[in-house]
Every structure is written in structure tokens, then in C-alpha cells.
Amino acid sequence: MTTTDIGTSLAQVGLDEQADLLRIATAGSVDDGKSTLIGRLLFDSKAIFEDQLASVEATSEKRGDEYTDLALLTDGLRSEREQGITIDVAYRYFSTPRRKFIIADTPGHVQYTRNMVTGASTADVAIILIDARKGVLEQTRRHSYLSSLLGIPNLVVCVNKMDLVDYDEAVFNSIRADFDKFADNLSVGQIDFVPISALKGDNVVTKVSDIPGSADAMPWYEGPTMLDLLETIRVAHSEADGEFRFPVQYVIRPQRSDGLDHRSFAGTIAGGAVSEGDEIVVLPKGQRSAVTKIWAPGGREVATARAGEAVTIAIADEIDIVRGEMLAHADAQPKRGTELSATVCWFADDSELTAGRNYLLKQTTRDTRSVVTSLDYRLDVNTLATDSAAETLALNEIGRVTLRTQSPLMYDKYGTNRATGAFILVDEVTGDTVAAGMIEGAGETESGVVWHAGAVSSGDRAALLGSDGARRTIWLTGLSGSGKSSIATELEKALLSAGHNAYVLDGDNLRHGLNSDLGFSEADRTENIRRTAEVAALLTDAGVVAICALISPLESQRELARQAHDRLGVEFTEVFVDTPISECEKRDPKGMYAKARAGEIQNFTGVSAPYEAPQNPDLHITPEVGTAAEAAERIIARLFSDDTSTVI
Ligand SMILES: Nc1ncnc2c1ncn2[C@@H]1O[C@H](COP(=O)(O)OS(=O)(=O)O)[C@@H](OP(=O)(O)O)[C@H]1O
Ligand SMILES: Nc1ncnc2c1ncn2[C@@H]1O[C@H](COP(=O)(O)OP(=O)(O)O)[C@@H](O)[C@H]1O
């Protein structure tokens, strides 16, 4: 069942999804009485529908049970009854006058860890169930570790079946002490303990002192019932309290009477809040604007909207924004990058995670190709021990990996924001979801792959080779036919004549070798640009002026190229060859525009694929510049002078 389904179901039972809603994950083994506990919660809080109760009571009478077997209310899946285990994630929702609840009844068995990761990943509270006769088991630790790993802020530890240990306070205290021993490794906000009997209802909804037959059973416990706790727990929604994050789900382009399309952007706020007038930044482009309008579902205009709300946002400037991009407050942006360190749980039962494999990565509304560059360790969720020798992750196993993505992600650490800090990996061939991941941070600093400084530092090399402004990459971007290659050639000639070692990296040429495996999809172009930028940065660091001539159509791709240079501490000069498409089509030396117009070439930049003109290039070559040689001459003159103007 998806979140949307839950939302629909809530509406069916008159629950407003956005009201004070507490998401609960129940984890515990089949025998701990989990299903009975949920049945008791639903039954005692009067959330059971009459028809369901009648059939359950009839079944219990038929079996001669002393108490109605409330587990039957929640073991809805036939196979649960047959196997006596919870196989999938069953969602139950109920409300009391004080709060609304969704319970994700997640599996207890280790072979269904992936279901727990799925069902519990948005929970506010995890109910950890312990059979008073058995005490803390390995699965108790596993459920608690997983709840902590999933960032669930609150744990309610229910010591169940107290009636079977004569409500012995010493048993309860011993179990609590055992739990506290390993709880130090948990990163949860609050842990509460409640002694209960789900079968008899003691302390679930009704205080044990108010239950006939148990009234004086636990005089030593004066704490709240489980329901009291669930109704009053203050959930630290890190997302709601965090920074504004708005992954764009889709772009709305209503035609106005003036024929202009004033776009607005729809999605669900993944963090923080946004108000009309807020200054925002469009990521990863980096362009800024301001929020002009916010509409709630149904078209109601609102001044402010918060995490979890589905809204449509309009901004002041006409910026080309597409699905998968993100709006954030300009002064509180998410991290951006292509190297991630993440904890993943492997879901596939017919394959294993191995380093070097490519996967489609889906994070918020963004999809990008990715590769697992290393499996850093496998985690034992029963003990939290790590195995750094592990080379694979099999079904339900959890480990720490380093990933590289083709397009930059805008993310937060999972512990900061479970929406922007989470992703799934999808098999590119089958389309199956093979893993769920939680971002821990930027990869290069945590993946164990460290940069080995050479014998000569970059600065020393500059001194040795002389760095009179030439040690930089000159990155020429522009439409096909704009003149990039011609200018690059002239630049190389002029720099070499002036005694500077220079080398052209031309997109066309590199596609015959280094990038021969790449096409012209956005992901492939991003990879093309990433690889070329990494090579250019190394060349420049070695003292060669790298002159790159690639269309590099998107701001985010050019940002990726700049980041590769920033990381090495070498100069990156973005030169926008601003030749209008009309002129490029007139030139059309390879006849590609004509073919693109005729539909013989797909995804052709400027015709059937976007080109985002640089907003703030370091140098802007206008059409008036004249020949390629003149352009090259002016670029060099500008780079070797103190003149900081950008237009040439
Ligand atoms: N679909 C499509 N779109 C754009 N260009 C195409 C395409 N198919 C082939 N070509 C030829 O490939 C050259 C662009 O390669 P680049 O590596 O510079 O492009 S990119 O930076 O990866 O977008 C470009 O060469 P230049 O004209 O020198 O720019 C094109 O002639
Ligand atoms: N400044 C210019 N004025 C007129 N034509 C030019 C100029 N620069 C390049 N050209 C011509 O335009 C065509 C495309 O140039 P090229 O450098 O290959 O562009 P790109 O590398 O951007 O595709 C070539 O035929 C080239 O001779």
C-alpha cells in the first residue's frame, strides 16, 4: 500500500491526513502478541467496525477462547493465519478524540527486514514488543536497531503478557535494565516502558487498576497506559522543524490570455515551511527568485505551507524548472553532490548488491543513474558489528556503501530529513526496486577512499611551472555550431605560441574514445561532462591549460564540472559562446540541424533538447566578436589582465 493509498483510506474513514497524525510502526515477533496488541488498541478505542468485530467474536466463540482473539482483527492476510506470521506491511488506522493514528504492522522475522524498512521508514513511533516470559531477545535488539537506523524518533517498549508472570515488578525492571544496556547504541529521542497484557487489555487503553480481575495486579506501576503515551507523545518531526525543501513533482503551464505561460510548480513539501515573499533558489541550477503565490489542494491560496503538504508554488521570475529540481531557501540549502555515503538495505531476492554495478537512483522526485563505487561494510543488525570484508549484500542485509550519481543530488543527511535523505535503487533492466538507502553524508570524505597528496603540491607545481594566470581550464559552452571548436583551436595555437602548454578536449573527439560509450540522454551528457571535467582538472593541475569545447547544455552539468576543479583547487573559467541558434542553423556544417528539424535526429540540443544559457559566465562571447581567432585573442587578453568584465 502506498502513502497515497493511505491518504485515500484515511479520507474514507473521515480522517484528515494532515491533522495531528501519529505514524506508528509495530515491530515484534509473531509470538510476542503484536497482532493481539493492535487488535486490542482498535477494539478498546472503539475503532473497530461492528461487522469486523462480530465475525471475530464468532470465530473466538467457536474456538472456545476465554478472550476474543483480537489478533484476528489485524492478521488480515490469509497467509498470516496459515503461517501465523505477518508477511507484508498491513496498515491500520484509528482515531481517538485526542489524535489520529496509522499503524504499520511490520513483520517480525529477520527474513522480512525489508518490509520493516519499508513500513517503518516514515514512522514517528516504534512499538517494541517484549514477551515478559522471554525478556530481551536478539530480535528485540534487531527491531530496536532498525528503528534507530530508520530515524524513528520515539520508542515505546511494551513488556507484554505480564499476566503470565504474575505481574511481577522484578521481571519488568529486569527487562527494562537489559534493554537499557544496549539502548546506548540507539540514536532515538525518547524511550518509554509500559507493562501490559494485550490479551486482557491491561494498561493498553485502560489502566490495569480499572480492569476487573486485574485491578490490584500492578500497584507498583502508576505510569500512563500505552494509548495515553501514544496520544501525548511529542514527536520531534525533524522534517517539519527543518529547512524548506520542495522537490518539484511537475510543472503547471496554464496558458494566460496574453499567451504567456506563467509556470507554477507542484509537489509535496519535504521539509520546513515556505511563505509568500520568501527568497528561494532553484537547485541545482543555482538561480534565485521569490515565491509569489502558494496554492493548497483545491486551489485555495495560502500564505504559508509546511512539510507534508501538497502545494503548488509560483515564483517571480521566468526560470525553466523541471521535475526533479528542488526549491529551497537561498540561505539554507541542502547539500549538493554526486558522491554519497549511504546505509542501504538490500531488497532483491534474486540478486546481490556488488560494487561496480549501475542502478537507477530515485530520490525525492529526482532520478539519476548511479554506480556503487564501494561496499564499505556489512552491518549485523543484531549486534551492530560491521564486516568490512563483505563483498556483497544479500536479501534483507544492511550495509554502508559509497555511490556516485551522474546528476548531482540535492540532499540532507537522513537523520536530518528522512525525505531528502532517503532514496531507492532500481534495477535498470527489470525496473524492480532492489534497495532502500539512507544518506549519511558526502561520499569522498566518508568512503575510505582518500586523496593521496603527491610529492609536489598544486601550489608548488604552479611555482615550478609559472602560473601567470594560464593554469586554468577554459570551458567553452554553447550550441552545436556556435564556434566552440574553432575558438578552442585558436586558443591552443595562441597559448602554445606564448609558451604555455595547452591542450584541447573537444566533446566530439572525446566521444570517439574516453566517452565512446555515451549518447545524448541527459544522464549520458552529464557523465560525458563529468568525465571530461575530471580529466581537464587533472591536466590543469599538471600545468597544462585544458581547453574544453562541449555543448554542456545544463547549468547543473557545468556546476558539476566546476566542482571537479574546485575539489582540486584549480581555476575553472566558463566561457559562453553565445551564437544564436539562427546563426548556428545557417552554418550547420554537419547538416545536423536540418536532420534534427526533420526528426531524423532525436534529442538534439536547441531543437529537441534544452540548452540553458549560462546566467553568470566568467566570459561571454557575443556574436559581434568576429572570427574565432579574434575571439581567442580577446579571451587570452582578458585572462592575462586585471580586467574583470565578462562580456567579450
Ligand atoms: N543529439 C545531439 N545533440 C547535440 N549534439 C549532438 C547530438 N548528436 C550528435 N551531436 C554532435 O555531438 C557534438 C556534441 O557533443 P558534446 O559532447 O559537446 O555534447 S554534450 O556536452 O555532451 O551535450 C556536437 O558537436 P559540435 O557541433 O561540435 O558541438 C554535435 O555535432
Ligand atoms: N566566428 C565565426 N564566424 C563564422 N563562422 C564561424 C565562426 N566560428 C566558427 N564558424 C564556423 O561555424 C561552424 C561550426 O564551428 P565549430 O567551431 O565546429 O562549432 P562547434 O564546435 O560549437 O560546433 C564551422 O563551419 C566554423 O567554420
The 10s digit of each residue's pLDDT in 281-313 is: 999 878 889 999 999 988 899 999 999 899 999
Q: So what's the pLDDT on residue 104?
A: 82
How does residue 56 score in pLDDT terms, banded at 50, 70 and 90? low
Average pLDDT, the chain: 83
Which atom of ligand 2 lies at the shortest distance from residue 476's CA? 22
Domain spanning 245-329, CATH architecture: Beta Barrel (2.40)
Q: Would the CATH topology of 245-329 be identical to that of 335-442?
A: yes
pLDDT tens-digit map of 510-564: 999 999 988 898 878 988 999 999 999 999 988 899 999 999 999 888 988 988 8
Q: So what's the pLDDT on residue 7?
A: 35
Q: So what's the pLDDT on residue 18?
A: 44
Distance 589 CA to ligand 2 centre (A): 8
Least confident of 63-67, 233-237, 331-335: 63-67
Task: Cite the beta strand spans of 71-170 per DSSP E.
Answer: 90-96, 99-105, 125-131, 154-160
| Residue 552 known to be catalytic | yes
**Predicted complex ipTM:** 0.98
| Atom 24 of ligand 1, nearest CA residue | 480
* List of long-range contacts for 628-632, beta carbons under 8 Å, 24+ apart: 628/483, 628/486, 628/487, 628/489, 628/490, 629/490, 631/483, 631/487, 631/490, 631/577, 632/487, 632/490, 632/491, 632/493, 632/494
Question: How do the domains of the chain map onto residue ranges?
Answer: 12-232, 245-329, 335-442, 469-640
Pocket of ligand 1 (CB under 6 A): 480-481, 485, 507-508, 511, 520, 525, 528-529, 550-553, 590, 592, 601, 603-605, 609
Distance CA 246, CA 315 (A): 13
Mean pLDDT of 238-245: 83
Which CATH class name applies to 335-442?
Answer: mainly beta
Distance 595 CA to ligand 2 centre (A): 18
Distance 360 CA to ligand 2 centre (A): 37
Distance CA 607, CA 613 (A): 14
Question: Residue 527 CA: which ligand is closest?
Answer: 1
Q: Which residue has the cell 498491513?
A: 90
Least confident of 117-131, 389-403, 495-509, 607-621: 117-131
Check the annotation: does 452 bind a ligand.
Answer: no
From the candidates 552, 582, 608, 641, which is the catalytic residue?
Answer: 552
pLDDT tens-digit map of 363-410: 999 999 888 988 999 998 777 889 998 999 998 899 999 998 888 899
Distance CA 176, CA 184 (A): 13
Check the annotation: does 317 bind a ligand.
Answer: no
Q: Is the domain defined by 12-232 classed in CATH 3.40.50.300?
A: yes
Domain spanning 469-640, CATH architecture: 3-Layer(aba) Sandwich (3.40)
How does residue 51 score in pLDDT terms, banded at 50, 70 and 90? low
| Atom 11 of ligand 2, nearest CA residue | 483
Which atom of ligand 1 lies at the shortest distance from residue 481's CA? 27
Residue 611 carries which side chain, given as an amino acid letter? Y
Q: So what's the pLDDT on residue 103?
A: 85
Contacting residues for 77 by C-beta, under 8 A, at least 6 apart: 86, 87, 88, 90
How does residue 6 score in pLDDT terms, banded at 50, 70 and 90? very low
